[in-house]
Amino acid sequence: MNATDPVSWSGEPAEFDDYAAEYRGGLDNPIKRLMGSSPDQFIAVKARWLLRREPELAAGGLAVLDYGCGVGSLMRVLVGLGARADFTGCDISTGMLRQVEKRWPAALGKTPRLAPQQGARTPFADGQFDIATISAVLHHVPVDERPAVYAELGRVLKPGGRLYIFEHNPRNPLVRYVIARTPIDRNAILLDPTEVRHGLLDAARYDLDTDYLMFMPPGIAVLRGVDRLLTWLPLGAQYVVTARKPGGPAGQGGR
C-alpha cells in the first residue's frame, strides 16, 4: 500500500473496494428486498426528509459534503429530486469513488467533486461546508475511532452549519436481523442515537435534534404520510441526528 492510498478505519486497505463494483445498497439480503425493489427507494426516504428540513437545497448556493459517500447514491438521489447544491463526496474507498463517476447519469449534470479520506481525515479546509451528511457510515467505524469522525465533521462545517447523521436503528428488531445477514455489514457495530448525541457533544457544542424514519416499506408511496407522522417514535428502521454548529445567521436549517 502506498502512503497516499486511502485506508480503512482499522488502518488496512479499504475493505469496501471489494464491494464497489457490485454494490446494491444491501439488496443482496432477501428480507430487505421484500421492503423495497431498489436501493434508491430506501435512500429517497432520507433525501426527501433532508429536502423538507433544508428547503434551500433546491435553490442552489449551499456547499454540501457527503462524508463516506460510497457510490454517491445520496447525492444522486438528492439531485434527482431537485437539489441544486454544490455537492462534494469523500470516502475511504477509491473503488467506491470510481463508481460515483461511472453511475452518475449525464442528465443530472456534472459529477460531484470527489476526494479520498485518510481514515477519518479529509483534505478539506476548516469551515468549508454549509451542510455535511454522513449516511449509514458510523456503524462501520470502530467505536474508539468514532470521536475522530465527529471532530472532522465539526472541523469542516461553517459556523451555523448543519450536520445530518443517518444511521440504522438498533432498537428495530428487523434492522438487527438484516444487518447480521448482510455481507458488507459483517463488521458493523450498530449505535443508538444517544451514543451519536454524546459523541457530538464531546466534540463541540451543538444544538441537537433526533427524528426516526422508515416505518413503512419505502416503495409504497401512499404510506409516506405515515412515516412523517411517526418521526417521534424510536422504532423506525433509520434515525437522523441533526447537529447545528454554533454561530452563523439565525434561522438556518429549520423545519
Number of other residues whose CB lies within 10 A of the CB of residue 157:
26
pTM: 0.87
Convert the pLDDT of each residue in 151-207 to its tens digit. 999 999 999 999 999 999 999 999 998 888 888 788 889 999 999 999 999 988 899
Task: Give the length of the chain.
Answer: 255
Convert the pLDDT of each residue in 31-69 to its tens digit. 444 454 578 889 999 999 999 999 999 998 999 999 999
Beta strands in 42-150 (DSSP E): 63-67, 86-91, 113-116, 129-135
**pLDDT band with cut points at 50, 70 and 90 for residue 10:** low
d(CA 11, CA 118): 9
Domains and CATH numbers, the chain: 15-244 (3.40.50.150)
The single residue listed with the C-alpha cell 441526528 is 241
Per-residue pLDDT at 78 exceeds 80: yes
CA-based nearest residue to 166, from 27, 253, 67 = 67
CA-based nearest residue to 74, from 60, 90, 61, 59 = 90
**By CB neighbour count within 10 A (0-12 exposed, 13-18 middle, 19+ buried), where does 247 fall?**
exposed
d(CA 81, CA 118): 31
Convert the pLDDT of each residue in 215-239 to its tens digit. 988 877 778 888 899 999 999 999 9
Whether 176 contacts 167, CB under 8 Å:
no
Please tell me the number of Cα atoms within 13 Å of 40 on its side-chain side: 10
